Amino acid sequence: MVKLSKRLHTIASYVPEGAKVADIGSDHALLPVYLAQTGRVAYAVAGEINDGPFEAASKQVKEAGLGSVISVRQGNGLAVIDEHEVDVVTIAGMGGALIVSILEEGKPKLASVRTLVLQPNVAEDQVRHWLVRNDWVLHDETVLEEDGKFYEILCAYRHPDAASANRELYRPKRLGEGLIVESVELARYGPLLLTRGDAAFYDKWKSEIEKISHIIAGMTRGGTEAAYKRQQELLAERERIEEVLSCWQKVKPS
């Protein structure tokens, strides 16, 4: 049986039993192979656009003897699946903007899909905004650290009243006695992540503070007006993250 990273194992845990899944950008098809080997899925499509990963995925599936369960296909995004072919789509290891582009361009292929499991490497807020605009509701989200990197995994469901559910999910939240986290910020931090006590959430945003501090330290004094404006924006961003984390620590669940 193939072994998965902590990141891929977490993604696998969100795939419902008996699902028909399409893994877009499947690379070596590790996720579909694992799901098939564990009997978690009835059928899977491993989609990959690039020649090398496509060939690696085909080899992986063949060596695992799973050609009757997993179809390896080469193509761009959701173009590799037919309408009503799958009920779960997983997309992992890409930037948030690219994931949004894949979902937007392939919307007709999502008609039968009931679960999206998405792991953007950056721009997670763009993915959350797309889900809201297209009547998907976050069922769960996880942040984890692996090999010095932080990953957010978002699981979204179809909902009979998505508009109402999302209004409630992204309603401005109060942290502590006075701090209000607005809807736009909830999309950045994660509306569910912000209500939990996960240590990885704190570590991720502490790491973000360090990155911002490093950028500020590298900015030269006496630069252009645009550079000064950017420096002030970064200082304000860092201060806000520190404020959110401070309040989050005081009210986080034990």
pLDDT of 227 reads 85
Instruction: Tell me which CATH homologous superfamily contains domain 6-169.
Output: Vaccinia Virus protein VP39 (3.40.50.150)
pLDDT along the chain (254 residues), means of 10: 96 98 97 98 97 97 97 98 97 97 97 98 98 98 96 97 97 88 96 92 97 89 80 95 91 66
Whole-number pLDDT of residue 170: 98
Residue 176 CB-density burial (10 A; 0-12 exposed, 13-18 middle, 19+ buried): middle
Domain spans, the chain: 6-169, 173-251
Model pLDDT, residue 237: 96
Give residue 139's pLDDT: 97
Decide if 88 contacts 20 (C-beta within 8 A): yes
Token pair 């993604």 is found at: 11
